[in-house]
Amino acid sequence: MEDTSPGDRPASGLPALFADLVRCETRLYNALNDRLRERHGIVTSQYEFLDYLRRHPGSRVADLAAEFAIGVGATSKGVDRLEKQGWAARRPNPADRRSSLLVLTDDGTRLVEAAERTFTDGLAELLAGTLDATALSAAARTLATLRSALERDQVGAPTG
């Protein structure tokens, strides 16, 4: 008899599910990276940081780290790169002198607005060619549910 996990999915199929999730994410990320670099001179991680700051002005480095499930040190280095390019700036946090609030500069706002179309159109092209609207909607719901549970339980949260 085969081992099963919650939802009666055979446990033997879980490694394949994991491999599919990771390889899909990597290939999509790389494809979008290439388009963003070619058209806007940025990479996907920079686009994601800029987009987050556009939607959440006044965020802290720790907020970005939590959103992207990466360490604070790596996040701070990423923000340093955005600052060096003149796309983001750190401002004093009036509520906590030990932290800064992050804002987009005018150049950063223009860049993320231009790159958004490349990102969205590229993602739509990559996904729509394979998944119909029903499958895409089901995949989105499934992944959102999984992400929510992992975040709620702080699974895989970086420790540093």
Q: How much is the average pLDDT of 126-142?
A: 91
Q: Are residues 54 and 122 in the same domain?
A: yes
Residues 100 and 61 in one domain: yes
**What is the domain-level CATH number for residue 84?**
1.10.10.10
User: What residue type is assigned to position 75 of the chain?
Assistant: T
Spatial neighbors of 29 by CB under 8 A, at least 6 apart, are 44
Q: Report pLDDT for 159.
A: 73
Region 119-131 average pLDDT: 92
Shared domain check, 139 and 117: no
CA angle (158 as vertex; 66, 57 as ends), nearest 5:
15
In a domain, 19, yes or no: no
List the structure tokens of 144. Answer: 């959102």
Q: Are residues 60 and 98 in the same domain?
A: yes
- Are 84 and 109 in a shared domain? yes
**Residues 136 and 116 reside in one and the same domain:** no
Residue partners of 93: CB distance under 8 A and separation at least 6? 60, 99, 100, 101
Let me know whether 78 and 119 are in one domain: yes
Residue 65 has a CB neighbour count (10 Å cut-off) of: 21
Q: What is the mean pLDDT of residues 79-86?
A: 97
pTM score of the predicted model:
0.85
119 within domain boundaries: yes
Per-residue pLDDT at 1: 45
Q: What is the pLDDT of residue 8?
A: 60
Residue numbers of the domain that contains 87: 33-129
Residues 80 and 141 occupy one common structural domain: no
- What torsion, rounded to 10 degrees, do the Cα atoms 58, 59, 60, 65 define? -160
CA angle 109, 110, 114 (to 5 degrees): 115
45 in the same domain as 86:
yes
Counted domains in the chain:
2
Averaged pLDDT for residues 121-130: 91
Higher pLDDT, 5 or 88: 88
Predicted confidence band at 101 (pLDDT cuts at 50, 70, 90)? very high
Q: Are residues 152 and 97 in the same domain?
A: no
Tens of pLDDT, residue by residue over 64-78, are 999 999 999 999 999
Q: Do 70 and 137 belong to one domain?
A: no
| Distance linking the first and last C-alpha atoms of the chain | 42
CA distances from 129 to 19, 35, 116, 135, 136 (A): 21, 17, 20, 12, 11
Give the pLDDT confidence of 10-30 residue by residue, as tens digits: 677 899 999 999 999 999 999
**Residue 15 located in a structural domain:** no
**Does residue 114 lie in a domain region?**
yes
Confidence of residue 98 (pLDDT cuts 50, 70, 90): confident
Compute the mean pLDDT over every residue in the chain, rounded to the nearest whole number: 91
The reply to whether 74 and 46 lie within a common domain is: yes
